[in-house]
């Protein structure tokens, strides 16, 4: 007779857990469903018989004392039905029983799903920030059952089919005979409990669809594409599960007056030719109220005046961008005879000579002065 300890490859003073681990390792290797070698089946029987004896404390004590099994049947048929050997060990070895620890059924509660909505704001709201009310279609905790999924006055009940384990067993033929395998219970869907009286309002889900009004704080400096996370403001979870998050994506409307470039604002201001020539003061309506602009005499079209700290607030830093005013000098159109005469007089005073509507190219006009300057070099 072979030595059971040698068959399992363990020492005589090995613990029961060490013997179990050795058996599982060899059983996986030698099982006929896995190993089709000529001697695999016989070796598997020896390993199984050795484990049957050494896994039972009483049989092991007799075996260690006498060197035999005290006259017990060494045939394999009786051994498999004996009290000292559990089919659970083989089942755990090949079907992931987790070392004798029974897997708990999953919980019915599930976290809600995150949601994303778009919110449009005006440019002024992006400059200073704002509080904005929004309406959200989402899932709320059922007010009737308060997320329990059960009709008021009733509770969940342990499944009669699986006994609360969430698993049902079925027999599968193998070389060892019938081996029990597990599958999710079809009655309770693997949860281990059933809802005998589902809530009439939520149909046993623990939540209902509803429209909710929220007031969100939009920080100053946001731009199109900025996302704001509202933790715990998303849809309610199933069966009282945790509430999800709500994400708000900002869309900034185009402004009819101001153009945004980063944190700077740009605006075009048209001034009359006479005002640009003589100089003046102009009032400009901005997001911060009226601002006075000094137009210096001789201002040219295209010049830019910068008003510091009147742009968009920096989102993550202190301070603000600038407001840049682009000046556009307007040339008079459709002048009347009197205005035309005055303009000609002005041209004469400025020694700008016109002949038949054309600027003179000789004499003492502007081109003559230009030639004189070039000639003096």
Question: Quick one: pLDDT at residue 352?
Answer: 76
Task: Please tell me the total count of domains within the chain.
Answer: 5
CA angle 99, 105, 111 (to 5 degrees): 125
Q: 162 a known binding residue? A: yes
- 211/136 same-domain check: yes
- 128/170 same-domain check: no
- 278/317 same-domain check: yes
- 62/167 same-domain check: no
| CA-closest candidate to residue 367, choices 332, 355, 339, 344 | 355
Two tokens at 147? 């997320």
- 113/179 same-domain check: no
- 277/309 same-domain check: yes
For residue 303, what are the CA distances in angstroms to 151, 269, 273? 75, 10, 14
Q: 149 a known binding residue? A: no
| CA-closest candidate to residue 183, choices 169, 162, 163 | 169
For residue 349, what are the CA distances in angstroms to 7, 240, 257? 123, 88, 39
What is the torsional sign of CA 338, 344, 345, 350?
Answer: positive
What's the CATH code of the domain at 52? 1.10.287.110
Strands 264-272 and 259-261: antiparallel
Question: Quick one: pLDDT at residue 316?
Answer: 86
Q: 202 a known binding residue? A: yes
- 225/274 same-domain check: no
State pLDDT tens for residues 210-243.
999 999 999 999 999 999 999 999 999 999 999 9
CA 261 to chain centre: 29
Question: Quick one: pLDDT at residue 349?
Answer: 84
Q: Which residues in the chain land under pLDDT 70?
A: 1, 31-36, 38, 69-103, 174-178, 353-377
Question: Quick one: pLDDT at residue 44?
Answer: 80
Structure-token match 């059922």, residue found: 142
Question: Quick one: pLDDT at residue 75?
Answer: 40
Domain boundary among the residues 209, 231, 254 is at: 254
Q: 159 a known binding residue? A: yes
- 36/85 same-domain check: yes
Question: Quick one: pLDDT at residue 237?
Answer: 94
For the chain, where are the E strands, in sequence order? 115-121, 130-141, 157-158, 167-174, 177-184, 193-194, 207-218, 227-230, 246-252, 259-261, 264-272, 280-286, 289-295, 304-307, 323-330, 354-355, 358-359
- 292/322 same-domain check: yes
- 81/130 same-domain check: no
Residues 32 and 213: their CA atoms lie apart, in Å, by 65
- 315/227 same-domain check: no
Question: Quick one: pLDDT at residue 373?
Answer: 53
- 28/78 same-domain check: yes
- Which phi and psi angles does 272 have, rounded to 5°? -65, 155
What's the CATH code of the domain at 221? 2.60.260.20
Range of the domain at 108: 104-152+200-254
| pTM for this prediction | 0.61
């Amino acid at each position: 007779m072979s030595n059971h300890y040698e068959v399992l490859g363990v020492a005589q003073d090995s613990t029961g857990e060490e013997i179990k681990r050795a058996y599982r390792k060899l059983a996986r290797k030698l099982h006929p469903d896995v190993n089709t070698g000529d001697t695999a089946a016989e070796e598997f029987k020896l390993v199984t018989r050795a484990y049957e004896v050494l896994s039972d404390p009483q049989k092991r004590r007799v075996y260690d004392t006498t060197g035999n099994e005290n006259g017990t049947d060494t045939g394999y048929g009786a051994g498999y039905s004996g009290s000292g050997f559990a089919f659970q060990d083989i089942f755990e070895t090949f079907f992931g029983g987790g070392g004798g620890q029974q897997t708990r059924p999953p919980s019915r509660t599930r976290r809600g799903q995150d949601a994303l909505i778009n919110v449009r704001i005006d440019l002024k709201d992006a400059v200073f920030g704002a509080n904005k009310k929004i309406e959200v279609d989402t899932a709320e905790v059922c007010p009737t059952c308060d997320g329990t999924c059960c009709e008021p006055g009733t509770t969940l009940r342990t499944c009669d089919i699986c006994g609360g384990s969430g698993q049902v067993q079925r027999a599968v033929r193998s070389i060892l005979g019938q081996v029990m395998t597990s599958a999710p219970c079809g009655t309770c869907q693997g949860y281990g409990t059933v809802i005998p009286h589902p809530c009439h309002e939520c149909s046993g889900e623990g939540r209902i669809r509803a429209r909710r009004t929220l007031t969100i704080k939009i920080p100053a400096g946001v731009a199109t594409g900025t996302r704001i996370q509202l933790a715990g403001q998303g849809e309610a979870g199933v069966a009282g599960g945790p509430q999800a998050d709500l994400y708000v994506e900002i869309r900034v409307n185009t402004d009819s007056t101001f153009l945004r470039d980063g944190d700077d604002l740009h605006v075009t201001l048209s001034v009359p030719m006479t005002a640009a020539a003589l100089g003046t003061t102009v009032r400009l309506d901005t997001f911060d109220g009226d601002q006075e602009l000094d137009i210096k005499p001789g201002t040219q079209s295209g010049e830019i005046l910068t008003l510091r700290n009147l742009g968009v607030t920096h989102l993550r830093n202190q301070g603000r961008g600038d407001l840049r005013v682009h000046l556009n000098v307007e040339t008079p159109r459709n002048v009347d005879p009197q205005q035309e005469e005055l303009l000609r007089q002005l041209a004469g005073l400025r020694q700008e000579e016109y002949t038949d509507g054309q600027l003179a190219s000789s004499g003492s006009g502007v081109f003559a002065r230009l030639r004189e300057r070039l000639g003096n070099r």
